[in-house]
A = this chain, B = another copy of it.
Amino acid sequence: MLRLNALPPEIQDSVAETQRRVASLHKELTRNRLVVWTAGNVSERVPGSGNAGVPGLFVIKPSGVSYDALSPEVMVVCELDGNKINDGTADRLQPSSDTAAHAYVYRHMGEIGGVVHTHSTYATAWAARQEPIPCALTMMADEFGGDIPVGPFALIGDDSIGRGIVETLRHSRSPAVLMAQHGPFTIGPDAEAAVKAAVMCEDVARTIHIARQHDDVRRIDQELIDALYRRYQRAYGQRN
């Protein structure tokens, strides 16, 4: 088992900072009411890992632990095969039961630095029907660049879920996939971006669900979606 204290000091520091970020980002899941009890998780690839002889690492929520109890120290550090490393504490917690899916994404999508999984109500309702969310709002064109796609039905326990996520998102602009009869997974360059995608995914899932209750909504024309997506990705927020 890989030992944390055998890694270069700058990687140990990077692990600790990642644990702080991941612990803190779980608060956004509860604040935005994307999760109940312990059913949702955030992970982030450790910056600097996966190079120069340091194996790829990511940090993820421990399994079944209440969101109130998520301090940085209890966040679990794993290698890209999904096995946790030895961080020197006697009482190491088990990582999330979704760890294999997160790990699969990190192994197969090198540009991805953050993964989030929730069972947020409206996104999961579309997933239950196995129906993609049509791109009918400008905000959805901005963030998702098109429809939010549905992934396959997959059982937990092997690579099925991870493979379903990667195969669905690899050729999509959407950072979100609705896994059939399960719930949304979102990805991003870092954990904060994946959390933002989870928040926005639930928001558009809810708004378009409600809009359709009284009449059909029409998808925005593809060329307008393209124009909105390109502008937003380039111009929104603060450029450093």
Contact = CB atoms under 8 A, between A and B. Distances in A.
Interface string A114-135: 0000010110111011010000
B231 A37 contact: no
A212 interface: yes
Q: Say which size band chain A's interface belongs to.
A: 35 or more
Contact of A63 (B182, B212, B215, B237): B237
B63 A238 contact: yes
Contact of A62 (B94, B212, B235, B238): B238
Contacts of A7: none
A196 B37 contact: yes
Contacts of A155: 224, 227-228
A129 B236 contact: no
Nearest to A135: B181
A211 B203 CA distance: 15
Contacts of A119: 137, 139, 203, 207
A37 B128 CA distance: 25
B36 A131 contact: no
Given A36-B32, A138-B156, A207-B124, A64 B237 contact: yes
A213 B209 contact: yes
Interface string A59-95: 0001111000000000000000000000000000110
A48 interface: no
B181 A138 contact: yes
Given A208-B128, A211-B129, A238 B181 contact: no
Nearest to A38: B237
Interface in A198-225: 199-200, 203, 206-218, 220, 224
A97 interface: yes
A4 to B, nearest CB: 20
A136 interface: yes
Given A157-B231, A237-B63, A214 B212 contact: yes
Interface string A142-171: 000000000000011100000000000000
B93 A236 contact: no
A239 interface: yes
